[in-house]
Structures are given as C-alpha cells and as structure tokens.
Amino acid sequence: MDNQEIRNELVKLSPPAGVSVTSFMGVPLSDWVYIATIIYILVQCGCLLYKTIKNVNKKGDNQ
C-alpha cells in the first residue's frame, strides 16, 4: 500500500471512528452536544462578566 491508499482508507474510517470516540464512557453523542453547549454558555458568561467588570473599573479610575 502506498501513502495515497492509506490516506483514502483513513478518510473512509474517520466518521465511524469519530462517532465511536464521542460515545466515550457510555455518554451518547447527543449528551456531549448538551455538555459542550453548557460549557460554551458558561465561557461566554465569564467573558461578558470579565469585560463588564473591566469597563466598570476603567470608568471608575477616570472619575
């Protein structure tokens, strides 16, 4: 087998392997999507709070 054939076989294997990996520790893919969404929302809330506090402190220093 040459490198091109190996790459082609890996590309064919990727989708099923990806689904198998996402079912890690018995958690189905749909639950991983929920977990990722919750983490994303928490990170966005944290960034918003950080920016808000930073702006409030910046305005307080100017007055």
Residue spans per domain, the chain: 3-62
Per-residue confidence (pLDDT) for residue 1, from 0 to 100: 63
CB 29 within 8 A of CB 19: yes
Position 39: which residue type? I
Q: pTM for the full model?
A: 0.56
Residue pLDDT, tens place only, 9-42: 777 767 666 666 667 668 787 888 898 899 999 9
For residues 53 and 14, give the distance between their C-alpha atoms in angstroms, rounded to a whole number. 44
Task: Please calculate the CA angle 60-61-63 and round it to the nearest 5 degrees.
Answer: 70
